[in-house]
Amino acid sequence: MSIKKTLLKNTSLNLIGYVYLTIAAFISIPILLRNFGQELYGVYLLFSGLIPLMVAIDFGLSQATTRYLSLPKNSDKKRSVIWQTSFTLFFLIGLLIAAISFVSFYFFASKSSAFSSLPSFQFLPLSIAISLILLFNHLNISIMTLIQSNQRFDIYNLRVLIVGTGNTLLTAFISTFTTNLVTIFFFLFSCHFITFLIFLRYACRHFSFSLPKFVLDKVYFKKLFSFGLRQFIGNLASQINIQVSKYILGLSLAVKIVPVFSIPQNVMVKGTGVISQLTLAFFPLSASLVTKEKIKKLSRLVTGLQFSILFIGILQVLFIYTLGDDVLHLWLNNPDFVVQAYPILKVLSWYFLLTTITPIPTAVLDSINRPQVPSFFAVLTAILTLGSMLYLVPSFGALGAAYAYVFASAITVPLFLFVFYRAFSKYIKKTLSSV
C-alpha cells in the first residue's frame, strides 16, 4: 500500500472514532449540564480534569516506545524486548501516580471550598476510583503504543468506543438516575478495565506469550527515557496549559463559572483533536520515512498537510463568528448560559486557528529525534498562559482566561514554526548528503 493510501486509511479510521466520540460528547454535555446543575457539573469537570493531567505523567514513554517500535529493520525479538521494558515502566509509573494521586487528591479535595457541595464520605471512594482509573489508563497506553506502531488503528479505536462511550453517552444516561459521583467514577473505571483486558489479549497474541513479563532491558531503558524525557516536559506542560483554567476559575471565582469556560474550550479541543487523529497515524509513518530515499516525500507531505490545516482553521473562525451563537442556542437550549459562553467561544476560535498548525511539525520533530524543541515551546506557552491568566482573570473573569490562551499562542506558535522549518531543512540536507 502506498504512503498516501496508508496515511489516508489510518487517518480515516481515527477520524471515524473521533467523530463518533465528538458527536457523543455533544449529545452528552447538555444532558449532564441539566442533570447535574451548573455547580455540580463544575465539580465533575474539576475531578475529571485531573485524569488527563495525571495521565500525562508518563515521562514521554508512549511516544518513545511508538518511535522505537516503528523504526525499520527491528527484529520481532528486539520489538518484544522494547515493548516489555516499556510495559514494565508503565506499570511502575502507574502505581506511583495512582498512589500519589490518592493521597494528594483525598487530602486536597476534602479541604478545598471548591468541593464543599460534596458529602465528606464521598471523598475516600472517589479517590480510590480515580486512582484505579489512572493505573489502568497507564497500562492501556502501554499496549496502545504497540497497536499504534503496528498501524492497527481499527483495534486502537476500541478504546474510543469503550472508554469514550462510557465518558459521554453512558455517563449522561446514568446521570438521569443518579448524580452520585462515586457511582459514576467507578463505572468509568470499569470501562478502562474492560479495555485493558481486550488490549492485553491483543499484545499476548501478537508476541505469542501467555502474559507479558516484567523486563527492564538496560539498553532500551536508557533509550526510552533518553528520548521520552525530552518530550515528557512538553506533554505535561501542554496538559497543564489545557486544564489549568478550570482550577484558576474554580478556585479564584466560583465552581459554577467552570462550565461557562470549559464547554467552549471543549468545543475547541474537540476540533483540535481532529488534527490530532491525523497526527496519530502520521507519527509512525513519518518515523519510517526519515531515510535518504523517502525524506523528500515526507517534506512534500508535511507542506501539503500544513496548508490544508491552515485553510480549515480559517473556515472555523468564519463559522464561529457567523453561526456560532445560533448553534450554541440550538445545542445547549440554555439562553442564559449561552450569553456567557459565546464570547469565550469567539475568542478561543483564534486559539484553535493557531494551535492546529503545530501537531504535524511536532510529529516530524519527534521522528527526527528532536522532541526537546516542541517540549521547550510547550513549556513556554504554559508559562505565558498561566502568567497572563493570573493577571487577566481577576479583571475579565472567564473571558480573561480565553484572552490568555490566544495571547500565549500568538507569541509561541510563529516562533515554533520558524524553528521547525529551520531544523527540518537542516535534517533533510544532512540526510540527502549522507553516503
pLDDT at 110: 65
* Residue recorded with cell 533509550: 223
What is the reported pLDDT for 283?
59
426: its cell numbers: 537542516
Query: What is the model's pLDDT at position 69?
Result: 74
Q: Which residues of 244-281 are buried (b: 16+ CB within 10 A; e: fewer)?
A: bbbbbbbeebbbbbbbbbbbbbbbbbbbbbbbebbbbb
pLDDT digits (tens, 9 = 90+) for 378-426: 889 989 998 898 889 888 888 998 999 999 999 999 999 999 888 888 8
Rounded (10°) CA dihedral 34, 268, 256, 332: -30
Q: Cell 490566544 identifies what position? A: 406
Extents of the domains making up the chain: 3-433
Model pTM score: 0.69
Q: How far is CA 4 from CA 1, 275, 285, in A?
A: 8, 16, 10
Distant-in-sequence contacts of 26-32, Cβ < 8 A, 24+ apart: 26/331, 27/168, 27/169, 27/172, 28/168, 28/169, 28/171, 28/172, 29/263, 29/266, 29/332, 30/331, 30/332, 30/333, 30/334, 31/172, 31/175, 31/176, 32/171, 32/172, 32/175
pLDDT of residue 119: 75
What DSSP string describes 319-373?
HHHHHHHHHHHHHH--HHHHHHHHHHHHHHHHHHHHHTTSHHHHHHHHHTT-THH
- Intervals of the chain under pLDDT 70: 1-11, 13-14, 71-74, 109-116, 150-154, 207-211, 230-231, 273-293, 434-435
Q: What is the pLDDT of residue 13?
A: 66
Determine the Cα–Cα distance for residues 241 and 253; give it in Å rounded to an integer: 19
